[in-house]
Amino acid sequence: MVERDPWLGRRPLHLRLRFLQGESTGSYVTRLAARNLRPVEQLLASVGVGPMPVEPQYTEMYVSRYARERLANLSGCSVAELSLRLVSLRDEFLMPDGSADDWEWPWDARAGFIVQACSLCAASRGTRAPAWLILPDPWHVCLRHGRWTDNSRSLQRPYIDLHDHPGVVRAQQCLNRLRKRLGYAVARWVEADALSVLTCVGYLEDPSRATEQEWAVLAARVGEQRARPVAQFDMVARLAWDMAWLEERRRAGRLSTAESRAWLRRVGRQRGFVFREPLTHWISGHRPLLHARQAGGSGTGGPSQTEVAGQGTAPLASLQNLTCLPWVRMPNEMDRLFL
């Protein structure tokens, strides 16, 4: 068995690295080694013992408590700061104490998706090589540079230019406003339910058959699987905004049964008849809290994830895990767009 060298990894490397928001640990370690003109294997030898490194675009790297401390030393920051910047270094993702190795690269990330970082954002942090994020969604919208990146590893088309799709930019701005207004956790629940409703009605499930030229062209260019979430994004935001209207009032105890029914009629009319059934299903789990109180609080409000969870969401919880509806299906390791 290879022994750890206790003298290695005690001093910071000469060159520090600027953090990228949402970066994966594997990507950060690879960038840190490159910045200091070292092979990744050599840098890892200062962190502990473990298997050969894997390219960061394929999976996430998880480390032991010991390796996290060493990595913080090498990075020149505290363990607390490093864990704050790199979500996969948080306690819940550490390897179990007593593991023989100090790091591992499982077949797939344990939570979240590996998404390519916007190359212009990475360049502004001094990185020219592709950098990789670990995110709760398999996509990322860079509002600064108008780029959509996803969990595809395509080198020919690493991003989708949103200057051709201004509706997607507006949708992300709308979701950001929603997060400010409702708080991140509640907004994510609403977003998850909105996506589930769209999945149920089959909204633009196949963008190549869309009547709008915009989506058919995109599907032909990047493939239907990559085009689908981009094509659905505008409607996810609109529906999330509608649902947030009801949820905000409901949570404040200001929603009556009559208002809830009127909301269903209004949104059904605006968005289309096919939305009525899944939305009826949704409000059956989001009944007015006012109604529940008037009925003696005997649980007539029905279960809803907002009441069950209540204490915030895990940073990498996917929309599929957050929704209270059964229809949404996120990509998993069987849908690897890059294999």
**Vertex 237 angle, CA 234 and 238, to 5°:** 85
Q: Contact region for Zn ion (CB under 5 A) — 51-59, 137-145, 187-195, 218-226?
A: 137-145
Using the rule CB under 5 A, which residue among 35, 85, 125, 145 binds Zn ion?
145
Q: Contact region for Zn ion (CB under 5 A) — 138-146, 167-175, 222-230, 254-262?
A: 138-146
Nearer to Zn ion, 77 or 135 (CB): 135
Residue 240 is a binding residue for Zn ion (CB under 5 A):
no
DSSP notation for 134-179: EESSSEEEETTTTEEEES---SS-SSEEGGG-HHHHHHHHHHHHHH
Enumerate residues 6+ apart whose C-beta is below 8 A from 333.
Answer: 107, 108
Enumerate residues 6+ apart whose C-beta is below 8 A from 323.
Answer: 189, 192, 193, 195, 196, 305
In the region spanning residues 113 to 132, those forming contacts with Zn ion, defined by CB under 5 A, are: 118, 120-121
Q: For Zn ion, which residue has the nearest CB?
A: 118
Nearer to Zn ion, 142 or 328 (CB): 142
- Binding mask 61-100 toward Zn ion (x if CB under 5 A, else -) reads ----------------------------------------
C-alpha torsion angle, residues 260, 264, 267, 273 (rounded to 10): 180
Pick from 267, 284, 288, 20: nearest CA to 130: 20
Min dist. Cβ of residue 144 to Zn ion (A): 5
* Residue 212 backbone dihedrals phi, psi, to 5 degrees: -80, 130
Q: Contact region for Zn ion (CB under 5 A) — 54-62, 66-74, 111-119, 326-334?
A: 111-119
Nearer to Zn ion, 68 or 147 (CB): 147
Q: Contact region for Zn ion (CB under 5 A) — 140-148, 199-207, 250-258, 320-328?
A: 140-148
Nearer to Zn ion, 121 or 328 (CB): 121
Q: How far is CA 218 from CA 58, 139, 148, 225, in A?
A: 25, 16, 12, 11
Q: Contact region for Zn ion (CB under 5 A) — 22-30, 81-89, 145-153, 164-172?
A: 145-153
Enumerate residues 6+ apart whose C-beta is below 8 A from 118.
Answer: 140, 142, 144, 145, 147, 149, 159
- Binding mask 193-232 toward Zn ion (x if CB under 5 A, else -) reads ----------------------------------------
By three-state DSSP, how is residue 125 classified?
coil
Using the rule CB under 5 A, which residue among 29, 43, 94, 142 binds Zn ion?
142
Nearer to Zn ion, 120 or 129 (CB): 120
Nearer to Zn ion, 141 or 204 (CB): 141
Contact yes or no for 9/46 (Cβ under 8 A)? yes
Min dist. Cβ of residue 35 to Zn ion (A): 20
Total number of residues binding Zn ion (CB under 5 A)?
6
Contact yes or no for 74/43 (Cβ under 8 A)? yes
Contact yes or no for 153/138 (Cβ under 8 A)? no
* List of E strands, the chain: 62-63, 103-104, 113-116, 132-135, 139-142, 147-150, 160-161
Nearer to Zn ion, 29 or 117 (CB): 117
Min dist. Cβ of residue 164 to Zn ion (A): 16
Helix 224-251 × helix 166-182 angle, to 10°: 30
In the region spanning residues 298 to 337, those forming contacts with Zn ion, defined by CB under 5 A, are: none
Nearer to Zn ion, 144 or 221 (CB): 144
Min dist. Cβ of residue 117 to Zn ion (A): 8
| Site of interaction with Zn ion (CB under 5 A) | 118, 120-121, 142, 144-145
